[in-house]
Amino acid sequence: MTALTAAGALVFTGLSLGETRRQVEIAERGQVTDRFNRAIDHFASTDELVKLGGIHELDSIARESPRDRAAVTAILAASVRKHRALVGKPCGYDGIDTETHTVLTVLSGLEAGRAVDLRHTCLNLLLLPGARFRCVQLQGSALRGATLIDADLTGAYLVGANFSEPTLPSDHPQGAVLSRARLAGAQLNRARLAHAHLDKADLTQANLSGAVLTGANLSGATLHGADLSGANLTGAVLSGADLSGASITGTVFPAADLTRDDAIRAGAVESPPGKPADRC
């Protein structure tokens, strides 16, 4: 009897502890939900300081509660798409407003990959060096004059993105600045990168087919296995660039800096490269 009583006591204790843990988890979840609702209310405020506080509250929740990270990412990205939509609104050079810059900084820190949906947004003159936006969706977005030095855009979706403009403010470098950016496996087909600064950028296996790279600085860039078919490199600087395994079918090269024969001698090929590795 004594052994049975002891066993029963152990079972009862185990069940009690399990129930206690469940109640604690419910209470903690309730606290997170309350925090989340307050943060959303603050983010929706018309008061700029309260709104910024709401953004940072959402950031804190996403970091502390992984189960809420996707929801926070979706809300913040949607706010940028609504506030900075390309359709029906002018996309000028007024710079990025404080709210959008704060949201993008938070999204960069969360590193949420392709869940960061910033397609068809106006992000001209974005200043976010060192941003971490692996696999971000920026298809068709305007990033004219953006400064993304040392940014991690590995596997980013940038199909048709516009980084170039014939005229920029006089106090800004001509073309976007992507020096030393990591763009391995990025989808940059049909992207406009005229006069872009891509010196020492990592474009390993990037898709640059049909991209406009006229006057771009690609000195020291890694283009190993990249797809440059149909790209326009007129006037581009390619000194020290690694073109081994790159596809140059239909590529227009700068006559003075690098000819097609020079590219082939450097290891570029006329046939398309193999399918890039999925980095997302």
- Which domain does 31 fall in, by range? 1-93
pLDDT for the residue 94: 80
pLDDT for the residue 220: 96
Q: Residues near 158 by Cβ (< 8 Å), separated by ≥ 6?
A: 138, 139, 141, 186, 187, 188, 191
**Cα atoms in the Cβ-side hemisphere of radius 13 Å centred on 155:** 16
pLDDT digits (tens, 9 = 90+) for 224-267: 999 999 999 999 999 999 999 999 999 999 877 888 888 888 88
Do the domain assignments include residue 259?
yes
Do the domain assignments include residue 111?
no
Share of the chain above pLDDT 90, in %: 66
82 with 170, same domain?
no
How are the residues of the chain apportioned to helix, strand and coil, as percentages rounded to the nearest 5? Answer: 35, 10, 55
254 with 130, same domain?
yes
Phi, psi of 6, rounded to the nearest 5 degrees? -65, -40
7 with 82, same domain?
yes
Do the domain assignments include residue 98?
no
Q: What is the distance between the alpha carbons of residues 105 and 24, in angstroms, rounded to a whole number?
A: 33
pLDDT for the residue 17: 53
Q: Residues near 94 by Cβ (< 8 Å), separated by ≥ 6?
A: 125
Do the domain assignments include residue 100?
no
Do the domain assignments include residue 12?
yes
Do the domain assignments include residue 276?
yes
What's the full length of the chain, in residues? 280
150 with 227, same domain?
yes
Over 80: is that where the pLDDT of 75 sits?
yes
Q: How many domains is the chain partitioned into structurally?
A: 2
Do the domain assignments include residue 110?
no
pLDDT for the residue 149: 97
134 with 83, same domain?
no
123 with 73, same domain?
no
Over 70: is that where the pLDDT of 111 sits?
yes
Q: Residues near 83 by Cβ (< 8 Å), separated by ≥ 6?
A: 97, 99, 100
Average pLDDT rounded to a whole number, residues 159-167? 82
pLDDT for the residue 232: 95
Average pLDDT rounded to a whole number, residues 6-20? 52
Over 80: is that where the pLDDT of 217 sits?
yes
Q: Is the dihedral of CA 195, 196, 199, 202 positive or negative?
A: negative
Q: Residues near 129 by Cβ (< 8 Å), separated by ≥ 6?
A: 147, 148, 149, 150, 151
Q: Residues near 142 by Cβ (< 8 Å), separated by ≥ 6?
A: 86, 91, 121, 122, 123, 124, 161, 162
76 with 147, same domain?
no
Q: What is the distance between the alpha carbons of residues 37 and 121, in angstroms, rounded to a whole number?
A: 27
Do the domain assignments include residue 104?
no
Q: CA 52 → CA 39, 80, 121, 123, 154, distances in Å?
A: 10, 14, 20, 19, 29
137 with 76, same domain?
no
Residue 170, helix vs strand vs coil: coil
Over 80: is that where the pLDDT of 104 sits?
yes
pLDDT digits (tens, 9 = 90+) for 164-208: 865 544 555 568 999 999 999 999 999 999 999 999 999 999 999
Q: CA 121 → CA 146, 163, 265, distances in Å?
A: 13, 12, 40
Q: Are 149 and 173 in contact (CB under 8 A)?
A: no
pLDDT digits (tens, 9 = 90+) for 24-71: 454 455 566 888 999 999 999 999 999 999 999 999 999 998 889 999
Q: CA 173 → CA 24, 41, 44, distances in Å?
A: 56, 40, 36
- pLDDT band at residue 81 under the 50/70/90 scheme: very high
